[in-house]
Every structure is written in structure tokens, then in C-alpha cells.
Amino acid sequence: MNHPRTLRVGSDQTISVVCVVGSELNVNLNRSAPPSSRFFSVKCTFNVQYSISPSPLHSTHLSPIPLNGNSVLLIRMNRASDHENDSKLSVRYYGENREVLGRAVLHLTAVEISLDVDADRDGVVENNNPNKGSWQWGPNGHGAILLVNCDSEFMHKKRPDREQEEVTKVSDLKDMSVMVLRTRGPAKLPEGYKLTLHISQGDAESVRVFRPRTSETDNKRPKNLFYKYFVKDYPLVLSSEVLSQEVPYLGEAAEMNLYVEGLRFPDKDFNGLIHINLSLLEPISRGLPETPIFTDTVVFKVAPWIMTPNTLRPVEVFVCSTSDNYRFLKSMKNLVAQSGYKLKICHEYLNRGDRWMQDELEFGYIDSPHHRFPVVLDSPRDGDLQDFPYDELLGPDFGYVTRLAHRQDVSSLDSFGNLEVSPPVTVNGKHYPLGRIIIGVAFPTATRGRNMTEVVQDFLWAQKVQEPIALFSDWLYVGHVDEFMTFVPAPDRKGFRLLLASPDAGYKLFRGLRHDGHGQAKLFEGLTHEKPVTVDEILNDEGLLAENNYVQSCIDWNRDVLKRELGLDDEDIIDLPILFKLVVEDEKRTIEYRAVAYYPDMVNMIVLGKNLGIPKPFGPKVNGRCVLEAEMCFLMQGLGLNCTFIDDFASYHKLLGEVHCGSNVRRESFDFRWWNLEM
Amino acid sequence: MNHPRTLRVGSDQTISVVCVVGSELNVNLNRSAPPSSRFFSVKCTFNVQYSISPSPLHSTHLSPIPLNGNSVLLIRMNRASDHENDSKLSVRYYGENREVLGRAVLHLTAVEISLDVDADRDGVVENNNPNKGSWQWGPNGHGAILLVNCDSEFMHKKRPDREQEEVTKVSDLKDMSVMVLRTRGPAKLPEGYKLTLHISQGDAESVRVFRPRTSETDNKRPKNLFYKYFVKDYPLVLSSEVLSQEVPYLGEAAEMNLYVEGLRFPDKDFNGLIHINLSLLEPISRGLPETPIFTDTVVFKVAPWIMTPNTLRPVEVFVCSTSDNYRFLKSMKNLVAQSGYKLKICHEYLNRGDRWMQDELEFGYIDSPHHRFPVVLDSPRDGDLQDFPYDELLGPDFGYVTRLAHRQDVSSLDSFGNLEVSPPVTVNGKHYPLGRIIIGVAFPTATRGRNMTEVVQDFLWAQKVQEPIALFSDWLYVGHVDEFMTFVPAPDRKGFRLLLASPDAGYKLFRGLRHDGHGQAKLFEGLTHEKPVTVDEILNDEGLLAENNYVQSCIDWNRDVLKRELGLDDEDIIDLPILFKLVVEDEKRTIEYRAVAYYPDMVNMIVLGKNLGIPKPFGPKVNGRCVLEAEMCFLMQGLGLNCTFIDDFASYHKLLGEVHCGSNVRRESFDFRWWNLEM
């Protein structure tokens, strides 16, 4: 509901007035009454409603009404005019003796105007939703949704569509939100009136609005070749260069679809909300700006980028082919084929030897009631795989987003093995139906240390719907959270288990072996270039024990954070027997000790539904069976999960990564829609 | 409540453990049990509580309890230890036949630690408020409050205290919020443990923390002269350079007052919330960072800058003395003296001829439960008065804040005649007990135009508690909202009236004069250098009428915005008879017409309680009395207000300003405390 608009009506004047259906005109009668006026009366045609405030004592308006200092006439019109000035209202002013002192006449034209969006989020633009001007979270919330147009309609010579100032293909329109301009009234607006779409400078940096070409505007616009070729049938209405532009009034009962394109994701300085205004402008006089006499405002929120946890169904698995990973690739092919998913291999001419498919990118998606598509977040890591997300993934209905960081700000913690997401959780009554993002950073009390770069952290926090948790991962040489944790689906409890690497569990297993007489069983048997080590040797190495005590305390610190932030009990966590060792790092001339896995780090696995692809640990054997594999299978089979052990020793483990680091999985979206979150 | 901390207890080990009272230790028994363990038992001294999860079937713990995969021991201590390791807990592990396989012994030391603030906002720091870690608006809300230390303890060689890295005077401490570190336990912490205050990099830009010197730390710290002289008795603990620092554990039952100093006001990139953490760190091993085993967090919100509307009681009135304003100054002196307030005159050697005291600064204040003081907001206008706010106002308990803008971004709309605040209002059920800020900007549909500079607008919006309203003031040559509106106190209705300049009211008055035979009455009579004009001449000037119609439509547009945003009825508004004229401005080679007052602009008044100082309009006289003055008195006397007309014609009006532009009023604070707002 717009508030009443002050209308000035002089006495002995006949003026033409445009009134928007649903809004009110407020005439201060005293202000323009002739001198000595004491009474007034009002008459009007049937399409006009009026009321007087303060209400006259006598209910009939037939006899003149006393005029006082605050007499206000409120005028409304209930339906659109067929013709200009087809309605009328007149006011007579009278003196002390009821003599007529003056008469003001209004010729009224009513128009209906509405800027409409899909505020109820059902995929269809409804008519004048009363909540269209505000945005509220939740299943009972409201407010329209906008996608960042970050895919590319073209595969050849492509750029994300949001970087193009024009609609390059009609298919691009489905990535935009429809906004309908509805008008009803005479065939033309009265002379000098016009409709304008406008937006604030701040909002215009995040959005563009297009409209279809109409025959009317065709005639007005330049017809040079450049214009015809690029802008074609969808002229740009609003952008960061054009904050305000007239839109055609089509006359009688008309609807025009406008197309709204999101340009940027929520970020530290942008909460995602965008207001777009439609105003009816009234001319005042030549050389002066027109006055808006009616403004309708709609609001959009830009959809956040959403990550997909291990519990969602895989769609495609990505791995690199390198000169030395033939065996690994073959095992992965088998696992993926047997699980029934698609495998995409990034060949060497593309990956240039960079095998860390997990680290260069993170798959996610964006969602709206009208459309949804996957979006890859490209890491500022920028290894030799850096062109892969843009060159190979960006395309029709496959979006791309990145954050630019200064080279010197980027560390190993910016690789996306250090960016994971939990399954849905409830923490002290607070629901996270899309889970929570998990990243690794420097230790909170450390005065130095590596960190995930600010621009990426800001981006992740600003998405809001998967509120991030910062873990301590800087104790690891590579520094990624996927080196000590993962999530697997489970049929019971919260629907998943958190798996944690645990030196304590490793030592317990090895002590049990020694206790049972297997102290001479060997790790790393059968590996070339790797000297086998016995269980006894490991248990007798006091330095290694101290190192693993430290590692366990680091993991325990993270374990406590995860329990608190994900609302987990000990029963939701499974400790995997994994040992680490510390290596010396002479970074910036400060000697630091950081951890790497002692044998293949089983927690660094790929999760494909019920099938797990786990780094083959090459542990000690009892009765011909690797006890680490046996323990892993035992722990997982209770959850109905199948373990496949993949030999990544030479081609990944020795390069300080494992199966998870060397792969990536695009998964299905959540069934839960993000706007139904209660915030 | 802190969540349980994972504690590792090996079998056949005796370890010393520090436990913080109120927190829990979580021991996974299975993880460290010797191989083949099947049962366990627990014993402890009286100060230790424990529970076992899952709960054993038999309620007695005397016989060994079956060990299963998830057996967890939760340990708590209810009061602080008198001596290190004065409590004990032991776990025995048994095999299948109840033979003892191992025994773990914990020597426990309990400490109480709490970081405390005034979270209940009564001016006193309470003990361990359960809400101290979060901030909530409203009378039932909670959360401590911080002042920006923007005053200066010194008048000589002064700088705002927030720009000084040290506590320069003990009186400075009262501008800070007290934060109490409470500890209880043995005389010393066990070897290697320490207490640390820490803060995030982002928060550290907005806050500094000092502590009193203790004899203990005196001995530890360098005693060079520089240190002694500057840091004196209050060493800096946290700042943007020091994100983490050890604080002394004083031993036994001790309290230490820490002093928290706010450095910056809420702004576009800062919501005012600051978290400060206290951690107890446990040593792990040489060369590795210590682990926090307990963290207590408190939150502060920085107090916003608050403006004071005309309805608040004046304290001091400020005007400039110039070579040509002797008469004006005399009238102001009389008015202020007669109203019973203080007058402060800014002399010419300071103002250098710049008489626009309203425009260079805005008075406001900051408020907290422990302290409150006035704060001047210095405009980026920077006329010849630019040094006045800093040089003359900044001082003990008088704060100073400004926003730096690029010279080319500053326009006349940055003068603070264009920054006002309404009295308290309620709008559609939403309360604004501190009123709403009002600024003037370019017209929303204009593609060009002057504006208030971004940095000042961002600052005003970020204060939150007086949510701003943007009016259209660019239609005025000078461009200030105080040229067409003000608020005066009223005994009825909402406690105030909005006064608006109204050409329509002016024309109505003049038409009445002509109608009553006074068409030859003259404006500007008796003024030197000003040609008198008759009422008839004014009414016959059709160009002037058109100009005033335009002006009225601009004011009406603002009137509608004010009615909507302040929840006003027509009865809350009084139209003052004021005419304008348009002048040509050739700004940036674009000819634009903008408005100036035709005769002294009566709405541009000074409001001192019930006394109004109004620009003397020099209107037409009837029976020897100026009809504009008479009308003004008539309109105001209904509200119990007294009008004093001040001749500002030559020294202000002709320079395009009036009484309000040439004065400023510091007022008392609101009784309402801003943190009691419901947001």
C-alpha cells in the first residue's frame, strides 16, 4: 500500500490528474481555498471515491461542509480508466453566506500499475503479491530469488554470461528471473507522463535488467548494425551504467516480461538483497525533473553458492590421467563403473602433470524456484590445473565463480582439499539442513601460521546457508582438513559418521598385534623403493610416539570443535588407525614441524554412495591379510559400506596426497531448498 | 557452558591434568585400554566427579564395568584446588578373568577462570553472566557496551585518546569498559600452563585492551625508560599489532580489572560487535604452540553516535561573531539569556568569517551504562570554521568524530544544515524512541545531482538506532533540509509538530491580503539596499507563481515521505507561509534552476525549549504589524511557543542562510538508553 500523495488543487482551476488504482490522493482543502471560504462541497463521477477528514458531523454531503484548518479530501479510484480524463471530481468553496467563492475541477485518469515477481517462490510470477517488497527466510517466508548468471550459453569463445552486457541467446533468459510489468488504463499515458525503472547505484553493481523489444520502442531506437547484432531483441534497461530508464507503457491491459540477471554472489560487502523500483513520473515543467507520483518496489535475493556433502548421490567423478598413475586410474575406473556413476578423466595435455583434482576446484550449485544448475568454485591455488574449471566445466547450465587473491596471500591452505561440508545436522535445536562448511586455518592462539585467504573465507561466510566452521589444519605439512577427517553415510543415528584419523587408534592396533605375537609383521611389504618396517620397530620408536601424541592432540582439539559445532556425540565419530610423522619445514627461516601421514592416509577416501575408495595402507599382515584393511572393513561394514582399497602409494601418497586429493565428485543437489531455512 | 574436552589417558601412565571448574573432560576409555581389556573400574578423591557413558547396567561401580567400543568417562571438578595435583582419579583395566592389565592415574588440579563484563548493563561487572558471550537488543536483552574513546584527556597538544596507544591519564580509564579476569586455584599454575587474552584481526582494529601493572609482571618486563614513561601503570594487552598476549595468573582467589577501549564507530564494514577471548593454554612439547584447553568469550557492542532533536532541552548555544553581525548576535544573546541557556561565541580569529555554525558540525553523544559524553560529528564541508570542532570542542569528556571524504566528492549537501533528526516517533507500530535522522539527497529519479557524500551516509546508516530518512533537497540552491523543515515541541498529539515551508500557504496569505484591500502593502520596508515589493506585485508575477508551484511540489514530495516514514498525520504538520524563487546555476556547464527563499525563511529557526528564534521575514504590514510575523505567532501560540523574530537579513539571509544555519545547539541526552531499543 502506497501512502497518500499530496495533491494541490487551486480554486478556480481545472487540472488533469493521474491516479494510480490502489493509491490515494490527499488534498488539503484549506491550503488552496479562496480567502474567506467557510464551507465546501464535493461532487464526482461514479468511478471516483472520496472521503473527508475530519469526518463531517452530518452524514450527508449534499449541504456544504464547514471548512476548517485541517480539512482533507482523500480521493481514490477503483478501476483503470478507458480513456484519458474520463472521470471527474469538483470542489466548490463557499463564503459565510453560502455564496460560491471558487470551484476547482479535477479531470481524472486512473491507471493500474504493478511490478511483479515470484515472491511466493512457486516458479510463477503472481499478481501484485503484497509481500513482494520484502524478503523473509523460511517455509512461511516470501521474497523473490535471483541467480548469478555465471554459466555460459556458449562453449566456444565462452565467457560467463554475467560478463556479457547483452542477452546472447534466448536460452540465456531461463537463467534470469522474470519480473512482470503489468499496466491497465487508456491506450496512452497523458502527455508528459512516463514509466521508469530505477535502482540504486549499490544494487546496480549486482544486477542487470533486460526487456523484450516492443514495436513502439523499435521505432525510437537507433538501428545501426552493431545495435541490431548484439542487443537484438532484449534491450538492456538497468545496469551499473544506467540506473534509471523509461519503460514503455503498452496501453489498455498489458503485460511485459522483464528479465533480471544476478551479477555477483553474496559477499562480505553484499548481503544479496536487491531492490528494483518502478515509478510513474509526472511532468512538472520544462527543464525540471519529473516527480514520481507512484512507486512500486520489488526485492530479490541472490541465491547463495551451496556445497554438496558426501551423503548426496554422486553424478560424476573427476580424476587426472598422468604419466605415472595408470594403476590408480584403472582402480578408480573400476570403482566408479561398479558404483554406476560417470567418470571424467582430465588428460595430461590439460592437467600438465597436476594430479590434485580435489584442490583446484569445489563443486556446488545454485538454486531458485525457476532454475537450478551446478557451479564450480575455482580455487586461487592455481596450479597447473588452473584452466580446467573454466575451460572444461563452464558451459550451458554449468556456472563458474572464483575469488582473486594476491599470489603472496595464497598458501597450501587455499587448496580445496581444505574445504569440505558436513551432512545436515541439528546443533542445540538449530537446524542446518544443508550442513556446514568446514575449512582449515591456523591455530587460534598462534601468532603466525598459514591460513585460507581472506577473499575465499569472506565468500564462504557470506553464503550464510552453510555457516562455516574453522578447524585447525596448519599442523599438517600440506594443511588440508581432508587429511584427518571425512564423512560417510550411515543408516542410523544422524545419517552419517564422522571419520577421524587417530594415531591412538593406530597405536592401540599395533600394541594389540605385538601382544598377540605379531610384532615382526611388516608394513610396506612388497613395495619397491620403500623399506619395510616392523610393528615392533614402530612401537619402539619413542620419537614417533611423541610426534603422534602431538598429532592426536591436534586432532582431538578439532574433534572437540566438530562435536560442539555439529552437535555430535562420541557415538557419531569413528577413529581410524592412522599414524603420522613430523617433517621439518624451514618456512621463512623459521623451523617448524608439521605432520604427514606415515602410511597411506585411509581417511582421505572417495565416498560414492555405499562404496568407499580408500588408499591402500600397506599395513602389517596377519594370516595374509592387512590388519589395517581388516580393521577399516570391520569399522565400515557396520554401516553397510563397502571398502575398495586403491593403491595410490607411488603416484599420490609419496607426493603427500591420497585418493581424495586426487579426485573430485560432482553430486546431486539437496532436496531441501535454501530459502526454506529459518534464519 | 564449554563442551567436554577430549583427554587422552594411556594405560600404565600417571599424568597431571588441569581441569577448569565448570568444564568437563571426556576420556575415551577404549582408545587407550591395553590389548584384551574387557572391564574397567574408576576411583577418585572427593573433589572429583565422574560419570560413565553409556551408563553401566549395575548402579554400583564397585565391581569392574564391561568395556565397550564407546565407553566414555566424563570428569568434572566442582571447586578450585588449593594445591597443584591435590586431587586424583585412577582407572584400572581388567582382562577376561578380571586380571589387572593396566592402570592409569590422573593427578588433577582444578582452577576457576572467568572473563567478566557488564552484560546486564547496570554499570557493574557481574560474576560469570551466562549471556556474556552474546549480544541482544532490548530491555530484556543483554551484552556489554563499549565507548569509542573519542574524547581527549588533555586540552593542550591534544589528540583523541583513541589515537594514543597508551593510557595517558588515570581519568581516561572511565571512558573504557571494565572487564574482570577472575581466577581461583593454587598459588601458581602448573609448569608451562598460561592464560592468554586473544582477539581476531578484524576485531582488533576496533579495540584495545589495557591491564594494570602487577608486581609479578614488573619483574618480567624490560625496565627501560621509554617503557616506564609511556606505558606507565597500564600495559597494553591487545591491539591491532598484538592479537594475543599472556596475562598473569595471580593465584588463589584473585581479580584483575582490564580496561577495554573502543577505537571506531559502527560503519558500513563494522556492525559494532567485538569478541574478546581468554584461554587457558596447555603445553604440548617444546617448539609447538600450546593448546587452549578452556576458552571464555565475552562480547561488546560499540555504542552508536546519537543525535538530539529540537524537543530535547538545550545546554549550550553556539554562534559566530563576524565583522557584520553585531545586531544578529545581540538578538541571539538576548534570546538565549532570556531562555536560560549558555551562549558560546566563536570569535572571528577562529571562524575566519565563516558564520555557518550549523553546517560545520553536528552535536550528538555516546552512551553506556558506565559513562556518557557529548561527541561532535565534524562535517567534511571544511569551510573556514573547519578547525573549530577539533580545536574548541574536543576535550575531556567531549568526543570528536569525522569522516574523511575526497574534496571532489564534497558538495553543499555535506553541510550539516542538511542533517537533522526527528523527535521520537512510532511508525506502523515500530518505535523509534530516539527519533530518525533526516538527510537531504538528490532526487531519486534524477540521473545527476548533488548528494551527501557516501562516507557520511554510510556512517549515519551504520549507527542503526536513528534509522535515517533521505529527503530530496537538491532542488534548493544551498540544498539543506533545514531550508524547508523543522520540528517544534508541542503539548499534545505526538509531542511535536513538523513545520514545513509552504509557498501555497504564502500565496493564500497574500491573496487574503489583496482580497481584504491590502494589495499595496509592502514587503522589505525599511531595509537598506532592498527594494520593497507590494503584495499585488508578487501576486501578479506569473513566473514567480510557476516557480513556487514547482517548489511546493518538491516540498509536497518530501511531505509525503515524512508522513510515511515518521507516521505523521496532516494534523501533525503546520504549513508556514514562505515563498521561494529560482536562481540559475551553471554547474558543470549544465544550466539548472534551484530555489532560494524569497524573504527570510522562517522555518530556518532556532528552537530553545518553548522559545523560537525566527528569521524576521520583513513581510507586508497591516495596521503596523507584519502579517507574516502575526501568522507565525498565531500558528505557534496554539502550541504554547513564543516567537522572537531576529533580523538576519543582511548578515545571513542575503548570504543564503538564516538563523538556524548560523547557530548550533548542544542538547541534553535522551533519557531512553539506546540498548533498550527492540531491533
Q: In the prediction, which pLDDT does B110 show?
A: 96
Q: Return d(Cα A418, Cα A439) in angstroms, integer.
A: 5
Segment among A357-371, A438-452, A565-579, B380-394 with least mean pLDDT:
A438-452
Question: Which has more confidence, A367 or A78?
Answer: A367
What is the mean predicted confidence (pLDDT) over B24-28? 93
Q: Return d(Cα A178, Cα A164) in angstroms, integer.
A: 19
Instruction: Count CB pairs under 8 A between chains A and B.
Output: 141
| Percentages of chain A per state (helix, strand, coil), in multiples of 5 | 20, 35, 45
What is the mean predicted confidence (pLDDT) over A602-615? 98
Residues of chain A contacting B33 with CB distance shorter than 8 Å: 508
Closest Cβ–Cβ partner in A8, A70, A516 for B570: A70
Which of A199, A239, A291, A566 should one mutate to test binding to chain B, selecting the residue with the greatest count of B CBs within 10 A?
Answer: A291
Predicted structure pTM score: 0.88
Cell, residue A333: 575406473
What is the mean predicted confidence (pLDDT) over B561-581? 95
Residues of chain A contacting B290 with CB distance shorter than 8 Å: 445
- Domain range list for chain B: 3-111, 117-302, 306-676
Segment among A240-249, A475-484, A581-590 with least mean pLDDT:
A581-590
pLDDT bucket at B59, cuts 50 / 70 / 90: low
Quick one: CATH architecture of B117-302? Answer: Sandwich (2.60)
Whether residue B55 has pLDDT greater than 70: yes
What is the mean predicted confidence (pLDDT) over A234-241? 92
A580 vs chain B: nearest CA distance in angstroms?
16
Positions of A marked active-site:
661
Closest Cβ–Cβ partner in B8, B28, B553 for A570: B28
Give A145-193 pLDDT, tens digit per residue: 999 999 999 988 899 999 988 888 889 999 999 999 999 999 999 999 9
Whether residue B80 has pLDDT greater than 50: yes
Q: In the prediction, which pLDDT does B31 show?
A: 82
Q: CA A131, A135, A138, A142 torsion: positive or negative?
A: positive
Residues of chain B contacting A246 with CB distance shorter than 8 Å: none
CB neighbours (10 Å) of residue A230?
Answer: 12
- Pick from B194, B246, B289: nearest CA to A592: B289
In a 10 Å sphere around its CB, with 0-12 CB exposed, 13-18 middle and 19+ buried, how is residue A8 labelled?
A: middle
Give A552-584 pLDDT, tens digit per residue: 989 999 999 999 999 999 899 999 999 999 998
Question: Is the separation of the CB atoms in B176 and B210 below 8 Å?
Answer: yes
Q: In the prediction, which pLDDT does A564 show?
A: 93
Cell, residue A573: 565419530
| Topology adopted by domain A306-676 | L-arginine/glycine Amidinotransferase; Chain A (3.75.10)
Q: What is the 3-state secondary structure (H, E, C) of A601-655?
A: CCCCCEEECCEEEEECCCCCEECCEEHHHHHHHHHHHCCCCEEEEECCCCCCHHH
* Distances from the Cα of B516 to the Cα of A36, A102, B511, B544, angstroms: 9, 16, 8, 22
Closest Cβ–Cβ partner in B28, B504, B512 for A31: B504
pLDDT bucket at B215, cuts 50 / 70 / 90: low
Whether residue A289 has pLDDT greater than 60: yes
Whether residue A228 has pLDDT greater than 80: no
The region, left, alpha or beta by phi > 0 then psi within -120 to 50, assigned to residue B143 is: left
Closest Cβ–Cβ partner in B288, B445, B546 for A281: B445
In a 10 Å sphere around its CB, with 0-12 CB exposed, 13-18 middle and 19+ buried, how is residue B30 labelled?
A: buried
Q: Return d(Cα B179, Cα B210) in angstroms, integer.
A: 10
What is the mean predicted confidence (pLDDT) over B209-225? 62
Segment among A84-93, A645-654, B84-93, B227-236 with least mean pLDDT:
B227-236
Q: In the prediction, which pLDDT does A4 show?
A: 86
Q: Return d(Cα A94, Cα A66) in angstroms, integer.
A: 9
- Rg (C-alpha) for chain A, rounded Å, is 34
Whether residue B88 has pLDDT greater than 50: yes
Give A383-405 pLDDT, tens digit per residue: 999 999 999 999 999 999 999 99
Task: List the single residue in A with minimal CA-CA distance to B571.
Answer: A70
Question: Is the separation of the CB atoms in B320 and B327 below 8 Å?
Answer: no
Q: In the prediction, which pLDDT does B633 show?
A: 98
Cβ within 8 Å, pair A198-B444 = yes
Q: Return d(Cα B185, Cα B249) in angstroms, integer.
A: 10
Question: Is the separation of the CB atoms in A616 and A327 below 8 Å?
Answer: no
What is the mean predicted confidence (pLDDT) over B37-49? 93
Cβ within 8 Å, pair B31-A553 = no
Q: In the prediction, which pLDDT does B170 show?
A: 87
CB neighbours (10 Å) of residue A398?
Answer: 20
Q: In the prediction, which pLDDT does B157 show?
A: 87
Cβ within 8 Å, pair A31-B550 = no
- Percent of chain B clearing pLDDT 70 (strictly above): 94
pLDDT bucket at B229, cuts 50 / 70 / 90: very low
Which of A12, A28, A244 should one mutate to test binding to chain B, selecting the residue with the greatest count of B CBs within 10 A?
Answer: A28
Cβ within 8 Å, pair A563-B3 = yes
Question: Is the separation of the CB atoms in A173 and A167 below 8 Å?
Answer: yes
Cβ within 8 Å, pair B446-A243 = no
What is the mean predicted confidence (pLDDT) over A503-519? 95
Residues of chain B contacting A6 with CB distance shorter than 8 Å: 556-557, 559-560
What is the mean predicted confidence (pLDDT) over A656-674? 98
Q: In the prediction, which pLDDT does B2 show?
A: 60
Question: Which has more confidence, B643 or B71?
Answer: B643
Give A90-119 pLDDT, tens digit per residue: 999 999 999 999 999 999 999 999 999 999
Q: In the prediction, which pLDDT does B589 show?
A: 60
Cβ within 8 Å, pair A285-B571 = no
Give A338-355 pLDDT, tens digit per residue: 999 999 999 999 999 999
Q: In the prediction, which pLDDT does B290 show?
A: 80
Residues of chain A contacting B9 with CB distance shorter than 8 Å: none
Q: In the prediction, which pLDDT does B253 show?
A: 87
Q: Return d(Cα B660, Cα B601) in angstroms, integer.
A: 10
- Pick from A668, A654, A624, A616: nearest CA to A332: A616
Cβ within 8 Å, pair B244-A447 = yes
pLDDT bucket at B228, cuts 50 / 70 / 90: very low
pLDDT bucket at B116, cuts 50 / 70 / 90: very high
Label the pairing between strands A361-367 and A372-378: antiparallel
Whether residue A219 has pLDDT greater than 60: no
Whether residue B220 has pLDDT greater than 70: no
Question: Which has more confidence, B293 or A605?
Answer: A605
Cβ within 8 Å, pair A281-B570 = no
- Percent of chain B clearing pLDDT 90 (strictly above): 80
In this structure, what are the phi and psi dihedrals at residue B66, rounded to the nearest 5 degrees? -60, 140
A193 vs chain B: nearest CA distance in angstroms?
13
Whether residue B138 has pLDDT greater than 50: yes
* Distances from the Cα of B359 to the Cα of B355, B411, B418, angstroms: 9, 12, 8
What is the mean predicted confidence (pLDDT) over B342-371? 96
Give B489-499 pLDDT, tens digit per residue: 999 999 999 99
Label the pairing between strands B273-282 and B194-198: antiparallel
Residues of chain B contacting A553 with CB distance shorter than 8 Å: 8, 284, 291
pLDDT bucket at B166, cuts 50 / 70 / 90: confident
Task: List the single residue in B with minimal CA-CA distance to A278.
Answer: B445
Closest Cβ–Cβ partner in B4, B287, B556 for A6: B556
Q: In residues, how long is chain B?
A: 679
Whether residue A202 has pLDDT greater than 90: no
Whether residue B218 has pLDDT greater than 80: no
Whether residue B445 has pLDDT greater than 70: no
What is the mean predicted confidence (pLDDT) over B79-85? 95
Within this chain, domains B117-302 and B306-676 share the same CATH topology = no
Q: In the prediction, which pLDDT does B364 show?
A: 98
- Helix/strand/coil for B280: strand
Closest Cβ–Cβ partner in B26, B32, B570 for A72: B570
Residues of chain B contacting A557 with CB distance shorter than 8 Å: 6, 291-292
Give B169-197 pLDDT, tens digit per residue: 889 999 999 999 999 999 999 999 999 99
What is the mean predicted confidence (pLDDT) over A224-253? 76
Cell, residue A446: 598462534
- Close Cβ partners of B26 (under 8 Å, ≥ 6 residues apart): A560, A570, B4, B5, B6, B7, B72, B73, B74
Whether residue A446 has pLDDT greater than 70: no
Please state which CATH class domain A3-111 belongs to. mainly beta
Q: Return d(Cα A10, Cα A623) in angstroms, integer.
A: 106
Residues of chain B contacting A556 with CB distance shorter than 8 Å: 6, 8
Q: In the prediction, which pLDDT does B668 show?
A: 98
Q: Return d(Cα A135, Cα B129) in angstroms, integer.
A: 35
- The residue assigned the cell 586426487 is A662
Q: Return d(Cα B185, Cα B112) in angstroms, integer.
A: 6
